[in-house]
Chain A
Amino acid sequence: KAGVTQTPRYLIKTRGQQVTLSCSPISGHRSVSWYQQTPGQGLQFLFEYFSETQRNKGNFPGRFSGRQFSNSRSEMNVSTLELGDSALYLCASSLTGTSAETQYFGPGTRLLVL
């Protein structure tokens, strides 16, 4: 069974640009979560989607948005990039997102904002 895939793996952008990251969950998984990982703040929850609905959102500005498609693939978008948005963005998938299930993480997309 293929794991969680994230594209692209690496990205370099400049301040003010916008970026879209993609996450394909494990086949059959309908819950997708996104996390931002930085050396200073560690791992922080961005949002979680299930069946195209956002069920929870972390404490991030409105520049960070996401969506989920009917095939459970998810995208996140960051508009008006800032230097502080440089991070590893991880997505995770599970069957329905409940705590009893294991969340499977992808390798991440490393974003560098110059």
Chain B
Amino acid sequence: AQSVTQLDSQVPVFEEAPVELRCNYSSSVSVYLFWYVQYPNQGLQLLLKYLSGSTLVESINGFEAEFNKSQTSFHLRKPSVHISDTAEYFCAVERAGSYQLTFGKGTKLSVIP
């Protein structure tokens, strides 16, 4: 079975400051890794994913995440946050062929003007 741990439930950060949202996973088999974002009263949107290849993946809005197999981590980073980044962020894993995402408990990012 897979599990995902998001170490911080809430992260406040000032606008234009950098941020890192931490995610660790546990799995006995290879998994694919995802970050989703949920804005208030909306569903989830895929931010980025790691399937294979380069361990650094980027999203179109400036977020990036690095897959670290030895530390079983997939931390999400952004060098400079905006007010519009205020949302809840979920890390997820999927075992190939399971058709099932296993999510972490989420991290609420609050960007302070």
Q: How far is the CA of A56 from the CA of B98 in the complex (A)?
A: 7
For the complex, is B56 an interface residue (Cβ under 8 Å from A)?
A: no
Which of the residues A42, A55, A58 comes within 8 Å of B105, measured between beta carbons? Answer: A42
Chain A nearest CB from B11 CB (Å) reads 17
Chain B residues with Cβ under 8 A from A2's Cβ? none
- Decide yes or no: A48 and B99 within 8 Å by CB, A99-B94, A103-B46, A106-B43 being known contacts: yes
B39-64 interface with A by 8 A CB criterion: 41-46, 49, 51
Cα separation A44 to B3 with both chains bound (whole Å): 11
The A interface is mostly helix, strand or loop, or mixed, namely strand
Q: Number of contacts between A and B (CB, 8 Å)?
A: 55
Whether A105 and B100, one on each chain, are in contact in the complex, defined by CB atoms closer than 8 angstroms, is no
Cβ-defined contact, A105 with B96, below 8 A? no
Q: Mark out the residues of chain A between 25 and 47 whose CB falls within 8 Å of any chain B CB in the assembled complex.
A: 31, 33, 35, 42-45
Contact present for A56 and B99 (CB under 8 Å): yes
The count of residues in chain A whose C-beta lies closer than 8 Å to any C-beta of chain B is 26
- Is the CB of A66 closer than 8 A to any CB of chain B? no
Which B residues lie at the A interface, using CB under 8 A?
32, 36, 41-46, 49, 51, 90, 92, 94, 96, 98-106
A sample of 20 cross-chain residue pairs with beta-carbon separation below 8 angstroms, ordered by A number, consists of A33-B99, A35-B103, A42-B103, A42-B105, A43-B103, A45-B100, A45-B101, A56-B99, A56-B100, A58-B100, A92-B44, A97-B99, A99-B94, A99-B96, A102-B46, A102-B49, A105-B36, A105-B43, A105-B44, A107-B43
